Amino acid sequence: MTLIAFQGQAGAYSDLACRNAFPGAGTLPCETFAAAMEAVHDGRADLAMLPPENSIAGRVSDMHALLPESGLSIIGEKFQRIEHCLLAPKGAALASIRRIHSHPVALGQVRKLLAELGASPVVEYDTAGAAEIVAKLDNVEDAAIASSLAGGLHGLEILRRNVEDHPHNTTRFYVMARAPLALPPETPGLMTTFVFNVRNVPAALYKALGGFATNGVNMTKLESYMVNGSFTATQFLAEVEGHPDQPSLRHAFEELAFFSTEIKILGTYPADPFRQTLQG
């Protein structure tokens, strides 16, 4: 059976994403992103599913720092709709709730519910952990914001589903493995993720990216972040449509190499069909 490592504890949204993406697979909770990657390296897990970004909270900075040196390859992507549930012990009702426990990001996504119920937010280390804490408190005045999976694992009732303020709350996950996928260059619907550094000269980034435009390559993502605490050495994470061995993308990478000190491809993989809904 396939075993998938994720960051968090059982019932976390990452756990739910693993189960939805790979029905029937086992999941392995890990304390950190680095620990989940290490579980794949040492063979305790076959894959890792780790989030680079969320549609509301933005990028996950720890992942961007770990990806280039992870030694793993991105072999897929999955989008998981985040559906917050208000969970409480049996016997609780909306009118009885006085405190709502969850991760600070999740609490920030249910401000309307907090105002409606007049409940006080209680910060916990993660959403699944909040569900576990509320189950142990077993108090009708305490509720948690977490996934339906966490509620089921800890015997909590769902008082209300989809309590998030914004219905577009979605997390994207990379599926990571020890070896890259062997995909023919002509395979349709591929994405390539890579990192690169540009030389510290005027217009270096402009010139580096020009090859993608002139070769008709669609770049869907470009983010910058500092390297080793330096204010002058900037690293970029980029994503483009296509395979590196396709002529257009190969020529674009050749031009990029003229203005870059390092290029590292992190993976080429099939685009999630969810992308079609984003374009629509």
CATH assignment of the domain containing 95: 3.40.190.10
Q: Which residue has the higher pLDDT, 234 or 104?
A: 104
What pLDDT sits at residue 178?
97
In-domain check, residue 185: no
Q: Which residue has the tokens 């023919």?
A: 184
171 catalytic? Reply is yes
Threshold 0.85, pTM exceeds = yes
Q: How confident is the model at residue 57 (pLDDT cuts 50, 70, 90)?
A: confident
Which segments of the chain are extended strands (E)?
3-7, 26-30, 47-54, 58-59, 73-81, 85-88, 99-102, 120-123, 142-146, 157-160, 170-177, 190-198, 219-226, 234-241, 260-270
| Shared domain check, 270 and 198 | yes
Taking only the tens place, the pLDDT of each residue in 150-189 is: 999 999 999 999 999 988 889 999 999 999 999 999 999 9
What pLDDT sits at residue 279?
60
**Which two tokens mark 82?**
């985040």
**Cβ atoms of 43 and 12 closer than 8 Å:** no
| Shared domain check, 90 and 155 | yes
Q: How confident is the model at residue 135 (pLDDT cuts 50, 70, 90)?
A: very high
Q: Which of 270, 230, 209, 225 is nearest to 52 (CA)?
A: 225
Q: How many domains in the chain?
A: 3
| Shared domain check, 255 and 207 | yes
Q: Which of 58, 128, 140, 61 is nearest to 97 (CA)?
A: 140
Strand partners, 180: none
Q: Which of 159, 153, 105, 30 is nearest to 144 (CA)?
A: 159
- Residue where a domain stops, chosen among 145, 177, 209: 177
Q: Above 90 in pLDDT, residue 277?
A: no
In-domain check, residue 165: no
268 catalytic? Reply is no
Q: Above 60 in pLDDT, residue 280?
A: no
Structural domain harbouring 40: 3-79+171-177
In-domain check, residue 46: yes
Taking only the tens place, the pLDDT of each residue in 17-32 is: 999 999 999 999 999 9
In-domain check, residue 183: no
Q: Which of 257, 96, 73, 82 is nearest to 181 (CA)?
A: 73
Taking only the tens place, the pLDDT of each residue in 75-128 is: 999 999 999 999 999 999 999 999 999 999 899 999 999 999 999 999 999 999
Catalytic residue among 22, 173, 212, 259: 173
| Shared domain check, 202 and 143 | no
**Cβ atoms of 232 and 200 closer than 8 Å:** yes
Catalytic residue among 171, 192, 193, 268: 171
